[in-house]
Structures are given as C-alpha cells and as structure tokens.
Amino acid sequence: MTLGVETQASQLAARLKQQARTLGFGPVGIAALPGSPRIGLRTAALERWLAAGHQADMAWMADPRRRTAESLLPGARSLLAVGLNYYVAAERQPGSLKVARYGWGRDYHRVIDGRLRQLGRWLEQEVPGLGWRACVDSAPLLDKAWAEEAGLGWIGKNGNLIHPRQGSWLLLGHLLTTLDLPADQPAEPLCGRCSRCIEACPTAAITEPFVVDARRCIAFHTIENRDAELPETIQAGLGAWVAGCDICQDVCPWNQQALVSSSEPDLQPRDWLLNLQAEQVESWGEADWDERLRASALRRIKPWMWRRNAAAAAAAQPQSATTIRQSTDSRHQPQT
C-alpha cells in the first residue's frame, strides 16, 4: 500500500529532525512559510524598531529581505529551525575582563553553517531536485521570530530566544527548503511579569519589554562601535565587559535552573578568554591577536577596539545602577 502524501511528509520531517539532532542540534522544529499571523506582528515590530533608530549603525538590519523569508529562497515552503546549546559550565577567573559566552569557542557561524549544509545535502539525497538554503544569523532573516514560530522557544523581554529547559544559551540556525513539511506548534511566551533583565541592564538598553536599543547596549558598543571612544554612558555601566555582554541572560530565571553543559569540542572556551587581563590586551601585537582570534566570532572586534574597551573598563568609575540609568535616560529618550 502506498503511503499518503501527508504521511510521507510527516515521516520525512521526523527523519530530518533526527538527522539534525545527530549533528548536535537541539531543540529542533519546523515552521511553514509564510508563517502564522505572529510572523506578521514580529515583522511590524522590526519596522517600528528600525523607525526608532534602535539599530544604531547596523544598517544591515534594514535589508528588505529580512521581511520575507521566501526572498532568500524562491519557492521556499518550509523552514527547519535548530538550536545549538553553547552553555559551558566554566567560570572566568576573578578579576579578569569579561567576554560574552557566545565568543568563547570556535566561530559559531562556521560551526552551524557547516552542519546545516550537511543537512541540506542529506535532504537533497532524500528528495532529489528540491531547493534548500542554510542560514545563520548573518543572513537577513528574522531568526528568533522563525525559531519561535517553529516551537524552539519564545522571545523574552531581553530579545533573546528562551527554551524552557535550556534557557537562552542557544545559537540559532535555519534550513529553508522548497518542500512542504508539517509545521510544529509555535512556542508560547512564559516571561510573565518578570522584569529582571530590564532592571539588571546597567545602561537601560531594554527601553521597554522586548525592545532593545543598540545605542544603549554594551554588546553593540564593544563589538560594533568603530568610534575611537565609547560614549560616557556606556563606559559608566561597562564594568569589566570588553567583548559583548551577558548580564540580561545571567539574571534570567530560566538560566538559573540546572543547565546541561555543552561537550561540543567547537564550543569549549579558549583558556585566555577566561583569564584576560588588561595588561595583555595592551601589550599584545597584531600577530598575537591574529593567533588568538583565529576561527573566532570575536575577530569582528579589531585589536584597537579591544584596547579601547579595556581602557574604558579600567577608567570607568563605579556608579550605582540608578545613577547610570538616570544619566542614560537624560541623554537618550526612548523614541515612539
């Protein structure tokens, strides 16, 4: 007896997800394009965010392809969303400069893209002639919105995707395909009345729930800002952060539970990142940085920027969160 089309699609979807898990991904889920009305709401939120100037200098966020996933793959009908747990139970040495967890290991763009391409080739063997495209966050795709649509987790008030058992320490990837595959149920938000991330941000970058203003964000300024000096309000709240910032994730209750530490070799921290000292940042030459940042997502931060960030962290005078927030609010009023 020949299986029905729907049954065949369901079986292929199950095998695709299992193949993704075999490659180290989890959670995994499928969304149908063009998506539910929630995708429309997320797209409208992006438009408001851009109109308010929250993207700062990140002009690529306005790429029109970001509004329609099908523009990345003509004829796309489905999307496999995958998460890669990057939480590693390692601690920074006391007194060291701080680097966000996403940058501790090998460049996640390379890791995820390579595995998604393996998935795409596997899928093409199963269904010759189909179209597919692998996307990491460098592609103009609403990656968190589509991960939410595929049931991987919900977008929290700090703008990060949160999984109920794995927290927000997830790197995301997507595989677009021209196949019609059965969609999973979109995730439901579970932040409730919690506002810890909003209250913890030392520069008031989360101007309201679900809205992060890059102009106030430590991560943006330490990674993307190419100015010779950081803004005073950023320096005031910088603390020891010199490459990204994890504060809004560190305080999230969903990250306080017992989390599984990744054993992925590609995601294990480089020793120097856990014990980075200001004198090292200042003394290392171009060749030193080139060696240490080989195959690292942190290569986007140029050596002079590391020195700038470290100098700003050292020069910052301790201030209370209230003082910093008042200073920030006086300089940058939220736009509506």
Asked whether the beta carbons of 70 and 250 are under 8 A apart, the reply is no
Helix (H, G, I), strand (E, B) or coil at 242: strand
Distances (CA, A) of 195 to 133, 201, 213, 223, 236: 37, 10, 16, 26, 22
Asked whether the beta carbons of 32 and 78 are under 8 A apart, the reply is yes
Q: Is 137 a catalytic residue?
A: yes
Residue 35's CB: how many other CB atoms inside 10 A?
A: 21
> 140 φ, ψ to 5°?
-75, 75
Across the strands, what pairs with 133? Answer: 176
Tell me which of 57, 63, 113, 137 is the catalytic residue.
137
Across the strands, what pairs with 78? Answer: 32, 177
Across the strands, what pairs with 97? Answer: 276
Q: Which residues are catalytic?
A: 137
